[in-house]
Chains A and B, each alone.
Chain A
């Protein structure tokens, strides 16, 4: 276990292993993405109520669901950074924060595009999922800006790890308090996200495929940028030098 752990912590080992995985992950991502998108765009039957806008939903739901994974991810990598001082965890965390901000933003954007059809408004403060996603984005941006503000990379790693842990606890509290707050304002709210429309099984299968595709995309993108980070931070080590002179 320990051996495995410290081996995984070695950037070189990760770089080599991820190099082997990448082609497979990319292939799987391309397949799922293509199937999901083509099916979603061409074959998915229109919803009896929402018409073709249900096509938005498969993307939105996939991205939204995936973006909930980021704070747990940061929590784990932050703990590893602080407790075991594994450099790799921080390299992942750095890129995860940025990617997480992207995901949150896309969730907000696709959600708004969907809301503008369903609710007639792009933004609605009375919906708790919107508001808590907005604050998740803010917290992630806080982590990112802390990292860019701190000059020393080791300080930045630990500081961001700590902030991510505190932030993760906070995201949960914010989520619940916003939900609670929101129930008091429901009266005047135009519509709520929970007015589930009866979608057919086909819709759910398409969504499921998209979710898998988006998770694959997440891992591919994260691995790619982590590999870059490894190259940059380990640039003085012999194996990177060899790699560079070979390329």
Chain B
């Protein structure tokens, strides 16, 4: 299995046969793309829940003031 790896050293791995910049940019972009589109919705969910909670409290406040 391990000998199927195409690189014998880490430097070679980074270099990608001379196309390091392009290859790593693509993988980097792809990673950012995937991460952003997973993390943002997850964080947004937390934000929404927090906001909804705050609003619920505020509404109760208004209600108790009115009565």
Contact = CB atoms under 8 A, between A and B. Distances in A.
B58 interface: no
B44 A56 contact: no
How many chain B residues sit at the interface, stated as a range, is 20 to 34
Nearest to B48: A231
How many chain A residues sit at the interface, stated as a range, is 35 or more
Q: For the complex, would chain A's binding face be called helix, strand, loop or mixed by DSSP majority?
A: helix
B52 A53 contact: no
Contact of B26 (A113, A224, A245): A113
B26 A221 contact: no
Nearest to A231: B48
Contact of A45 (B6, B25, B44, B52): B6
A122 to B, nearest CB: 10
A228 B56 contact: no
Contacts of A113: 22, 25-26, 29
A106 B45 contact: no
Q: Which one of A43, A51, A55 has the greatest number of beta carbons of chain B within 10 Å? A: A55
15 contacts: A33-B34, A41-B27, A43-B6, A51-B17, A52-B16, A53-B16, A56-B19, A63-B30, A99-B37, A109-B26, A109-B29, A113-B26, A217-B37, A228-B45, A244-B53
Interface of A: 33, 37, 41-46, 51-53, 55-56, 59-60, 63, 99, 102, 106, 109-110, 113-114, 116-117, 217, 220-221, 224-225, 227-228, 231-232, 235, 240-241, 244-245, 247
Interface of B: 4-7, 13, 16-19, 22-23, 25-27, 29-30, 33-34, 36-38, 40-42, 44-45, 48-49, 52-53, 55-56
